[in-house]
Amino acid sequence: MMGPFEFAGIQVRNAVMALYNAEVQDNLIQLQPTRKEFEGDVTLVAFPLLKTSRKAPEATAAEIGQWLSDNCSEVSGFNVVKGFLNIKLSGSFWAGVLSDIAATPDYGQLPATGKTVMVEFSSPNTNKPLHLGHVRNNLLGWSVSMLLAANGHRVIKVNLVNDRGIHICKSMLAWLRCGNGVTPEKAGKKGDHLIGDYYVKFNDLLKEEVKELVAGGMSEEEAEKNAPVLKEAQSMLVRWEQGDPEIRNLWKMMNGWVYEGFDRTYADLGISFDKTYYESDTYLLGKSLVEDGLARGIFERHPDGSVWCDLTSDGLDQKLLLRSDGTSVYMTQDLGTASQRYKEYGFDEHIYVVGNEQNYHFQVLKLILGKLGFDWSDAIYHMSYGMVELPEGKMKSREGTVVDADDLIEKMYQTAKETSLELGKLEGMDDAGQDELFRMLGLGALKYFIIKVDPRKTMLFDPKESIDFNGNTGPFIQYTHARIKSILRRAGESGAATRAPLNAKEESLIGILASYPDKIREAGAAHSPAIIANYAYELAKEFNQYYHDTQILKEEDGAVRSQRLLLIGTIARVLTHSMDILGIRLPERM
């Protein structure tokens, strides 16, 4: 299929050859969409061609425009505004574009590139349930993965579970002290929620001990370092790394509870992974890389036994790689995990979907891998995203002031149910159909509201605003799709390409459809599914305006009616493909 820009580029090149007897380089043919205040579909910037034409911008644009009008039946007119040539394409051109799009299976899927991209996302700690921040991470990770697959890459979705470390020991210790042997079954809770309660409980125990130590004359800073409960958690971590059977068995049991909880949340979100890595499996490989770097003089051991990488010559500071007691840190296991993944998959790019508070961490990771001699360190890309905030402010896990992912999913379901019942958008559905619709709408609202924001920006999440059936929301796009499907059901046909004339709005809609592959490329290059979300909204919005102003089912001319049905059916297909990238399902009826 040849889109408007590819067609215009070829014809402008032909015009320059015919008018000025010169070949022109691709970078000199600069095309852009015509601004809405001017008539036209494609605009040529004439200024780069002046050395070739040896004429003024307006004269150059006018000569090229006239040649196109005289020699290309697909060009129905042109106008010149200063040094810009606005080219109007004919209805027959747009009808041909629609026919090509409609006949292209899986339109929007770009050709295979042979490139392997690994995307790490989620990466939870096993000391608390997933919360709203994790939801943004998971939704971005999933949609970026789908977006890169649409760009023709082989994509491997991976999860790294941070299943060991001091934070895990804190939950374990609090459960030992205060749990009285409670299990998820006894408590009637998901395992991740139960363990999260004990992470908060540890913080309560720590506060009490710090308070007592400060009352005894110790400074608050000293008290926080020397509280017995913290010392005991640190000792537990050392015992874990030494393979203490009692600690390891407790760890396996409590982590098992958490994994069952995580799996249910992932299933509710529609998230899955190609492979899951565990820090407990990779930290030893990381430690061996650190020991190797130490032997080669890349790292240095301090008098207390800790191991560091000096990055001052790179404009940074010194980075801890092993603590004085020999235990590892996040950087240690990230080195090991990255090395293992490259051996397994030989990726061309490794994307870490991690919040912007970890910008420094991934800058350091890339530097250290380079110092260790891994030439693939340049393949690492940190997709840094902004935090999610609520009207009442930031969330804090250790204080228990988070929005739990499971509670949020349920709230979105209830909000979708209430809104749908109020608006009467149920069209004769049985209870099972209504329940499926409410879940589809609730998740669609949640996912779209989060994904439509540029990943780099901090965002404010408002559940009620996200479920609105008007405006830039998931339910608006879902309702648009259901409306198109309703029209097609009533028509009893999907339409066909004809030679019927197109109106201006139809040409505009076909132009939006034709730009979809370019939007896929643009979004993939920017690692930004927000571009696809907002594209889908613009397409849905333009359709609704068209539907309001245009007869479709009541159109008496059979050829016009059939072509309009083909157009709206193609719009539904592109909406489905774009929303699939975002992990959002579109209903057939509402």
What average pLDDT does this structure show over 159-169?
92
pTM for this prediction: 0.90
Are 58 and 191 within one domain?
no
Indicate whether 350 pLDDT > 50.
yes
Are 438 and 301 within one domain?
no
pLDDT at 404: 86
Pairing type for strands 388-389 and 30-33 reads unpaired
In a domain, 110, yes or no: no
What domain count does the chain have? 3
Q: Can you list the pairs that 102-109 forms with residues at least 24 positions away whose Cβ atoms lie under 8 Å?
A: 102/497, 102/566, 102/569, 102/570, 104/1, 106/577, 107/516, 107/517, 107/570, 107/573, 107/574, 107/577, 108/150, 108/516, 108/517, 108/520, 108/574, 108/577, 108/578, 109/150, 109/152, 109/577
In a domain, 102, yes or no: no
Are 490 and 561 within one domain?
yes
**Residue 395 pLDDT level (bands cut at 50, 70, 90):** very low
What average pLDDT does this structure show over 340-362?
96
pLDDT at 257: 97
In a domain, 53, yes or no: yes
**CATH number, domain containing residue 546:** 1.10.730.10
**Residue 325 pLDDT level (bands cut at 50, 70, 90):** confident
Closest residue by Cα to residue 132 from 466, 460, 384: 460
**Residue 1 pLDDT level (bands cut at 50, 70, 90):** low
pLDDT at 399: 45
CA distance 178 to 470: 50
Looking at 389, 415, 440, the residue that finishes a domain is 389
In a domain, 343, yes or no: yes
What's the whole-number average pLDDT of the chain? 93
pLDDT at 239: 94
Are 193 and 59 within one domain?
no
In a domain, 221, yes or no: yes
Strand order in the sheet with 300-301: 300-301, 307-310, 318-322
Residues in the chain: 590
Looking at 44, 65, 89, the residue that finishes a domain is 89
In a domain, 100, yes or no: no
Domain region containing 341: 121-389
Segment 403-424, tens digit of pLDDT: 889 988 998 999 899 888 887 7
CA distance 495 to 500: 12
**CATH number, domain containing residue 59:** 3.30.1360.70
Are 132 and 253 within one domain?
yes
Segment 167-189, tens digit of pLDDT: 999 999 999 999 999 999 999 99
Segment 67-86, tens digit of pLDDT: 999 999 999 999 999 999 99
Indicate whether 401 pLDDT > 60.
no
Are 374 and 414 within one domain?
no
Are 249 and 366 within one domain?
yes
In a domain, 101, yes or no: no
Looking at 89, 110, 137, the residue that finishes a domain is 89
In a domain, 473, yes or no: yes
**CATH number, domain containing residue 355:** 3.40.50.620
Structure tokens at 211: 């308070």
| Contact indicator for 452, 530 with CB cutoff of 8 Å | yes
CA distance 519 to 578: 10
Are 81 and 152 within one domain?
no
Closest residue by Cα to residue 326 from 360, 309, 302: 302
Are 229 and 288 within one domain?
yes
Are 449 and 510 within one domain?
yes
Are 413 and 539 within one domain?
yes
Phi, psi at residue 147, to the nearest 5°?
Answer: -65, -45
Indicate whether 323 pLDDT > 70.
yes
If residue 284 lies in a helix (H) or strand (E), which one and from where to where? helix 279-295
Residue with tokens 């380089």: 25
Are 85 and 188 within one domain?
no
